[in-house]
Amino acid sequence: MEKLIVIDGNSILNRAFYGIMGSKMLQTADGTYTNAVYGFLNILFKIIDDENPEYLVVAFDVKAPTKRHEMYADYKGTRKGMPDELAAQMPLIKKVLEAMHIKIIEKPGFEADDILGTLSRFGEKQGLKVILLTGDRDSFQLATNQTIIRIPRTKQGKTETEDFDEAKILETYGVMPKQLIEVKGLQGDTSDNIPGVPGIGEKTALNLIKQYHSIDELYEKLEKGEANLKGKQKENIENNKEMAMLSRKLGTIDLDSPIEKNLEEFKVESWDKPAVLELFKQLRFKRFIERFALENTQNQTQKKIEDLFKLEQITPQKLIEKLKNQHEMNYFFETQKDENALIMKKKITKINVYLKEEKKVYGANFDGEVLKEIFENEEILKCGYQIKDDYILLKQAGIKPKNMMFDSKIAMYLLNSGTNMYALEEIAKQYLNLDLEDYMPHETKENVQTSFFDVEEFPQEEIDYKYPMYSYMIGETKPILEDELKKVNELALFYEIEMPSAEVLAEMKFAGVFVDKTDIEKMSCDLKKQIQTLSQEIYELAGEEFNINSPKQLGEILFEKLELPFKKKNKSGYSTDVDTLEKLRNAHPMIEKVLEYRQVSKLNSTFVEGMLPYINPKTNRVHTTFHQTVAATGRLSSTEPNLQNIPTRTEIRKTNPKIVQTRNRKNFSRCGLFAN
């Protein structure tokens, strides 16, 4: 069966925009943001690869009042305007789609949803399988056996797609797709400012439609006295019939909007390659240029690299000869996973060294025995990136590194601690006007499965130039960063405090903190007994058993059954946060028990059982990472696990002589990091 794909342009562009934020906000040379366009195209190319459709349309909203605004002036009245950075990209994506000969449809007075609805029914009549690509679940009402709604969903931190046809809607919601319109009439929609009936949420609305099939039948039964409704719910439904009918109209997608429906114009055609190439150049989408072979870039890339530096692969022995008389070494390691490694679970496989005087990068396979001489030579200044990690990797390889005294990331952090843009690529862009992407020829792998919204990583072959480029960037930016630090009076801070601290923090991670696993497990057992005792005491005070960890159930016990004051409702029920419970501390003896239950539960789950996965079975220690470049205030932060967050007055932090590493005490004290 031939396929028609209709894409909800606004929905997917919006999702793409927020999918690549922060330091990954892509820009053109003149500063125009392109992250939404880039993400949109990744998604477009993925669905074309997956489905190979014969017909393709992209629908967009028009910035103008719709027929729904005529029915209800406050329709979408609570929505914030589109961010300027996103609005500027709307004409860009349309230009690209036009150059690709992809049909764009937009109609004043109608929304993209209406275009999706109209084209889905048109496609069905033409005997096509229809796929509607959107992030808006309002489109579920359009699902049939022939029309599929493809929705992105996040699962285990990864965004994938989920297809909904008529059967899937029935299985998920217990009603037919068209009945979801009835559900919306009762429930309303806060995102579109559709009012619905006060006090009716999704669960209640679904149950009512399952029982009465439609809003009309619900009111018919209500007027005859045959509806099984009572109390406030009945009153709200009786008093808001007009609002329910209006909300249903507002939530109904038009299946016959007055748009052009010419199947020939929806055909997937060849691109206007010169026009697409020109646009991709303007937008700096070099990966796409290379992926679709819009021009031969391999030779150009090679020449660009050669204009910067020569690259030569040599043996570790020859690398030593090159470095023996050097006073400075700009290097970058290549690594691979190694589950047998002691601390970091990876090992060094290659080293790239940039010699500035020669304008040359030497690459060599890593041999710890051979390169030990260089890294333990304190006469050679080692300049790298995230050298704290390198320090540990070298120690794992049997090398005690010396004079690891320049870290580009730490230098950048001191110059601008208010941002997180410390990546080497960002440093090179700012100080060398060099964009790594300009030098990376990417080849598409065949038959690679990527997630629907994996816009940050595109399937590509590993490029030999990347890591040599990193060593080049480190060497070229070092004097510039030193000058910048000198200008702001922070060069001494960098060399006398931050860099020695990096070595100390690496030693601290390598040494680790001893954890008595037996004690931890015993403590967990004791805490679980406390939790069980507290639970029973809470049940007795409440007069029934319930899920203490459920704010909804706890709220119902406190504010409906026990009728305690200070009740405050949110979308999911009554608020039972710490502030609320603190106000109620003297109102009922159960509150004290609940607060204690929460404290003991958190202690067990986060700081006791939560510690166990981090105990290294080879060392019986936890090897936490102390970060120098995270907090804008300059303080250290600790992760995996967060040892700074363990409550002080607990058995977990008791002094243990096995923790103290006396050989490092002098260094730890010098940096203000040692505490006994």
Tell me which residue has tokens 């816009």.
455
Q: 453-491 b/e with 16+ CB inside 10 Å = b?
A: bbbeebbbeeeebebbbbbbbbbbbbeebeebbeeeebb
Beta carbons of 118 and 258 less than 8 angstroms apart: no
Tell me which residue has tokens 């809470």.
538
201-205, 419-423, 492-496, 566-570: which is most confident: 492-496
DSSP state of 83: P
246 or 451, which is more confident?
246
- Mean of pLDDT values over 10-21: 85
**Tens digit of each residue's pLDDT (9 = 90 or more) over 158-181:** 567 889 999 999 999 999 999 999
- Residue partners of 437: CB distance under 8 A and separation at least 6: 284, 286, 287
**Tens digit of each residue's pLDDT (9 = 90 or more) over 436-460:** 877 765 433 333 333 333 333 333 3
What's the pLDDT band for 661 if we cut at 50, 70, 90?
very low
Q: How far apart are CA 611 and CA 618, in angstroms?
A: 16
Q: 362-382 b/e with 16+ CB inside 10 Å = b?
A: bbbbbbbeebbebbebeebeb
Helices 202-212 and 179-187, axial angle in degrees (round to 10): 130
**Tens digit of each residue's pLDDT (9 = 90 or more) over 330-383:** 999 999 998 888 888 899 999 999 999 999 999 999 999 999 999 999 999 999
- Residue partners of 571: CB distance under 8 A and separation at least 6: none
Q: 219-258 b/e with 16+ CB inside 10 Å = b?
A: beebeeeebebeeeeeebbeebeebbebbbebbbbbeebe
- Mean of pLDDT values over 658-673: 34
Residue 665 scores a pLDDT above 60: no
Q: What are the beta bridge partners of residue 189? A: 194
Residue 613 scores a pLDDT above 90: no
- Residue partners of 636: CB distance under 8 A and separation at least 6: 505, 626, 627, 628, 644, 673
Q: Quick one: pLDDT at residue 299? A: 60
**Tens digit of each residue's pLDDT (9 = 90 or more) over 313-334:** 999 999 999 998 899 999 999 9
- Mean of pLDDT values over 99-120: 95
Q: How far apart are CA 538 and CA 369, in angstroms?
A: 63
Q: How far apart are CA 622 and CA 516, in angstroms?
A: 10
Beta carbons of 290 and 424 less than 8 angstroms apart: no
**Tens digit of each residue's pLDDT (9 = 90 or more) over 198-232:** 989 899 999 999 999 999 999 998 888 888 888 88
HEC-encoded secondary structure of 557-582: HHHHHCCCCCCCEECCEECCCHHHHH
HEC-encoded secondary structure of 401-445: CCCCCEEHHHHHHHHCCCCCCCCHHHHHHHHHCCCHHHHCCCCCC
Q: Quick one: pLDDT at residue 456? A: 38
Residue 33 scores a pLDDT above 70: yes
Q: What are the beta bridge partners of residue 514? A: 621
DSSP letters, 135-173, are S-GGGGGG--SSEEEEEEEEETTEEEEEEE-HHHHHHHH
Q: Quick one: pLDDT at residue 440? A: 66
What's the pLDDT band for 393 if we cut at 50, 70, 90?
very high
Beta carbons of 466 and 436 less than 8 angstroms apart: yes
What's the pLDDT band for 29 if we cut at 50, 70, 90?
confident
Q: What are the two backbone dihedrals, phi and then psi, of residue 542, each rounded to the nearest 5 degrees? A: -80, -25
Residue 666 scores a pLDDT above 70: no
Give the type of residue at 523.
Answer: M
Could you give the C-alpha distances from 608 to 483, 613, 645, in angstroms and in order?
A: 47, 10, 12
- Residue partners of 566: CB distance under 8 A and separation at least 6: 580, 583, 584, 587
Q: How far apart are CA 323 and CA 327, in angstroms?
A: 8
Q: Quick one: pLDDT at residue 452? A: 34
Return the closest-CA partner of residue 141 out of 62, 66, 253, 245: 253
Instruction: Read off the tokens for 669.
Output: 């004290």
Q: Quick one: pLDDT at residue 650? A: 61
Beta carbons of 574 and 551 less than 8 angstroms apart: yes
Instruction: Read off the tokens for 128.
Output: 């096509």
Tell me the three state secondary structure of residue 129. Answer: strand
Q: Quick one: pLDDT at residue 96? A: 97
- Mean of pLDDT values over 493-509: 94
What's the pLDDT band for 300 if we cut at 50, 70, 90?
low
Beta carbons of 493 and 478 less than 8 angstroms apart: no
Instruction: Read off the tokens for 60.
Output: 């967009």
Residues in the chain: 676
Give the chain's domains with CATH numbers.
3-180+192-200+254-263 (3.40.50.1010), 297-506 (3.30.420.10), 517-610 (1.20.1060.10)
Residue 675 scores a pLDDT above 60: no
Q: How far apart are CA 670 and CA 676, in angstroms?
A: 14
503 or 22, which is more confident?
503
- Mean of pLDDT values over 289-308: 75
What's the pLDDT band for 13 if we cut at 50, 70, 90?
very high
Helix (H) / strand (E) element for 43: namely helix 35-51
Virtual CA dihedral for 603, 608, 611, 615, nearest 10 degrees? 170
Residue 262 scores a pLDDT above 50: yes
Residue 287 scores a pLDDT above 80: yes
Q: How far apart are CA 637 and CA 643, in angstroms?
A: 9
